């Protein structure tokens, strides 16, 4: 884990990695609420190219509920982002936001502790890609 995310490089295409990431997160109770094909949007809006990059908005509804009822300011930090980006042909980086690092922003120790459980689940999902 870095300061803000969990990261792992795997042999896969971006689409394969998105599918594997979605399944691994689902096994830990996370659903995907949003998908942004960032490379497509950047091209549409600026005419510039970046490597294939997909941002998935992942959420564990029970944990999100618990966090939101503890401190509604957490809504600004939800959902947790999962980024899948190509680093070379057939190799991608999967980067999952560390919920505990995000909760530090709010200065709420109870939320940081709750987020550590989410960290564990996200870490397991990444290990199971």
Cβ-Cβ contacts under 8 Å for 15 (sequence gap 6 or more):
none
Q: Is the peptide bond before 121 cis (omega within 30 degrees of 0)?
A: no
Report how far residue 96's alpha carbon sits from residue 81's, in angstroms, rounded to the nearest whole number. Answer: 6
Residue 127: Cβ within 10 Å count: 10
Whole-number Cα distances in Å, 105 to 3, 77, 109: 12, 9, 10
Question: Average per-residue pLDDT in the chain?
Answer: 95
Q: What percent of the chain has pLDDT over 90?
A: 89
Residue 95: Cβ within 10 Å count: 21
Q: Which of 9-23, 24-38, 100-114 has the lowest mean pLDDT?
A: 100-114
pLDDT band for position 99 (50/70/90)?
very high
CATH number (domain holding residue 102): 3.30.310.70
The total number of structural domains that make up the chain: 1
> What residue numbers bound the domain in which 72 lies?
5-127
pLDDT in tens, 54-96: 999 999 999 999 999 999 999 999 999 999 999 999 999 999 9
**Beta strand segments in the chain, E:** 5-11, 31-37, 53-59, 80-88, 91-97
- Write down the pTM of the prediction: 0.92
pLDDT for res 3: 81
Residue 55: Cβ within 10 Å count: 17
Four-point Cα dihedral 5, 104, 32, 8, nearest 10: 10
pLDDT for res 33: 97
What is the mean predicted confidence (pLDDT) over 1-29? 94
């Amino acid at each position: 884990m870095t300061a803000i995310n969990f990261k792992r490089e795997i042999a896969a295409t971006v689409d394969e990695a998105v599918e594997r990431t979605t399944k691994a997160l689902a096994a830990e109770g996370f659903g995907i609420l949003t998908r942004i094909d960032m490379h497509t949007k950047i091209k549409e809006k600026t005419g510039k190219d970046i490597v294939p990059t997909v941002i998935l908005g992942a959420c564990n509804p029970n944990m999100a509920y618990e966090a939101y009822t503890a401190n509604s300011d957490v809504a600004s930090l939800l959902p947790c982002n999962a980024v899948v980006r190509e680093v070379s042909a057939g190799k991608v980086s999967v980067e999952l936001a560390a919920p505990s690092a995000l909760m530090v922003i709010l200065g709420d120790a109870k939320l940081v502790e709750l987020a550590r459980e989410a960290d564990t689940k996200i870490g397991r999902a990444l290990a199971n890609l």
